[in-house]
A and B are shown apart, each in its own frame.
Chain A
Amino acid sequence: MKIIAVCGAGIGTSVLLKMNAEKVLRSLNLEATVEAADIETARASRDAQILLTTPELVEKLKGLPSEVIAIDHVFDLGEIGDKLSAAML
C-alpha cells in the first residue's frame, strides 16, 4: 500500500503528515509506505492508494484513482489513526 501526504509546497504540512502517519501506522501494525509531495507531483503519480492531505486541498485532488483523506489537525494521531484505519481495513 502506498500513501502520499500532500501539501502545496511539499516541504511543510505534507512532511508533518507523513511523519505522523508513519507513527500511527507503526502503532496500528499497518503496512504502507508514505511519501510527502506537492499537489502537482501527487497528481502525476497515480500509484498511491491513499492521498493524505488537509481539508482545503481536497478539491485539488479530485478525479484521481486514489482515496483522499482530509486531516483537520495534523498532530492529532487519534484522528489520523481513525481515518487511515477506516480506509485501509
Chain B
Amino acid sequence: MSLLEKAFGKGSILLNQTAADWQGAVRRAGDGLVASGCTTSAYTDAMIATIDDLGPYIVIAPGLAMPHARPGDSVLHTGMSLVTLAKPVDFGSNNDPVRAVFALAARDHDKHLELLSEFAGKASDPDFVNSLLSCQTEAQIRTLIH
C-alpha cells in the first residue's frame, strides 16, 4: 500500500458531496479528517480561518483544493481526506471552480514530505481531477491513488 493510500483512514473519503459554498466544502473535508482520527474539529476551523485570512491560495490546480493549517494540538495523526463535489464550488481562485478537496493534516514539518511527494506524482496528471470524479466508490479511489 502506498503512503498516499495509507494516509486516507476509515471515513476519510467522501464522494459526490454537496456543499453550499467553499466553507461547506472545507468543512466536509475536515469532517473526513475527524472521522478518521487525524484531527479534532478545531483543525477544521483553523483550515477555514487560514483561507479567510490569506485567500484561496490552497486551490493549487484547476478544480483542485488542498486546504490545510499549521501543525498543532488539533492534529493527532498525519493524514488526508478527500471530498468530491457533486456540484463545483467557487473559492475565489484563478483555478475555480473546485470539484475535489483534499484536506491535509501534518503532525510536524517533516513526516508528511514523502506523502506529499506521492500526492504530487498523482496530482501532476492533468486528468487527475476528472479521474477522481469518475470514481463512484471508495475502492475505485483507492485504486487510483494506490
> Which A positions have Cβ atoms within 8 angstroms of B?
7-13, 15-16, 19-20, 38-39, 53-57, 60, 72-77
Contact = CB atoms under 8 A, between A and B. Distances in A.
Contacts, number: 74
B70 A38 contact: yes
Interface in B67-83: 68-71
Size category of the B interface is 20 to 34
Contacts of A74: 60-61
B48 interface: no
A68 to B, nearest CB: 13
12 contacts: A8-B50, A10-B70, A11-B71, A12-B66, A12-B116, A15-B113, A16-B60, A39-B54, A56-B93, A57-B54, A72-B94, A73-B95
Nearest to B113: A15
The 4 closest A-B pairs by CB, nearest first: A56-B55, A56-B57, A74-B60, A54-B57
A54 B54 CA distance: 11
Given A19-B116, A55-B94, A12 B58 contact: yes
Contacts of A9: 50, 68-71
B2 interface: no
Given A19-B116, A57-B54, A11 B109 contact: yes
Nearest to B92: A56
Interface stretch (B13-21, B22-30, B117-125, B138-146): B117-125
A19 B117 contact: yes
